[in-house]
Amino acid sequence: MPTQPLDADLLRRALHSLAAALPPSPQGDLILIGGAAGMLTGQLPSTRLTSDLDVIELTPPELLDLCCHLAPHISDPTGISESWFDATSTTMRHTLLDGWRDRTEDIGRFGCLHVKAVGRLDLIALKLLAGRERDLADVAALSVTTRECSVLADMLPQLLRRGVPPESITSAISLARALGGNRG
């Protein structure tokens, strides 16, 4: 059976359903990246769709395991993909800029889960690093400012010490500079 893409409302409903399946404790902090992060914070257009919810962190770790186990069961009644809750991004924290936790944005509380998203600057940086067509479309939709482009061009080199491939960083910096130059 084909699955339907996720919009912000369906993402919220899926999070509520997942939270309802969780025990009331422990309380957890769930941090998102990707298109869902931009959609749920209202930074990306309401017409934007995604196939999943990219989780960069969920603490405590036992909640991450439990959510990964329960999330596929949420998909049946809603018609969304069994893989809607994507925890594979938890291996990507090394691609986040220094201070990213201080820039997270609150999305809300869903049962025992306090859901946040990476901040705007970090979302833009991740999209530039990925450099895929859909990520660059998101960057365009975010109406990135000249100041943000300049800050990112200065901050992205810090990722070299974390093992992010130099060519990815160079490409992201070039994209930021080109975008900043186009903003005049």
Three-state SS annotation for 56-104 = EEEECHHHHHHHHHHHHHHHHHHCCCCCCEECHHHHHHHHCCCCHHHHC
* Residue-range definition of the domain harbouring residue 113: 8-119
Same domain, 64 and 127: no
**How confident is residue 181, by pLDDT bands cut at 50, 70 and 90?**
confident
> What is the C-alpha to C-alpha distance for residues 15 and 166, in angstroms, rounded to an integer?
36
Retrieve residue 162's tokens.
């974390």
Query: Which residue's entry shows tokens 């200065």?
Result: 154
Q: Is residue 72 part of a domain?
A: yes
In terms of Cα–Cα distance, which of 144, 152, 158, 159 is closest to 174? 152
**How confident is residue 183, by pLDDT bands cut at 50, 70 and 90?**
low
Retrieve residue 142's tokens.
């975010």
Q: Is residue 1 part of a domain?
A: no
Same domain, 20 and 98: yes
Query: Which residue's entry shows tokens 């969920």?
Result: 58
Total count of domains within the chain: 2
Same domain, 21 and 111: yes
State mean pLDDT over 141-162.
96
Q: Is residue 153 part of a domain?
A: yes
Q: Confirm if 116 and 32 have CB atoms less than 8 A apart.
A: yes
**How confident is residue 184, by pLDDT bands cut at 50, 70 and 90?**
very low
What values do phi and psi take at 128, rounded to 5? -65, -40
Q: Is residue 79 part of a domain?
A: yes
**Would you say residue 77 has pLDDT above 90?**
no
CA distances from 51 to 6, 59, 111, 170, 173 (A): 6, 23, 23, 29, 28
Ordered DSSP codes for 122-147 = HHHHHHHHH--HHHHHHHHHTT--HH
Q: Is residue 130 part of a domain?
A: yes
**DSSP-assigned beta bridge partners for residue 172:** none
Same domain, 81 and 25: yes
**Would you say residue 3 has pLDDT above 80?**
no
State mean pLDDT over 124-152.
96
Distance of CA 79 to the CA centre of its chain: 22
119, 142, 168 - which closes a domain = 119
Same domain, 104 and 37: yes
pLDDT tens for 53-68 read 999 999 999 999 999 9
| DSSP element (H, E) containing 3 | none
The span from the first CA to the last CA of the chain, in angstroms, equals 48
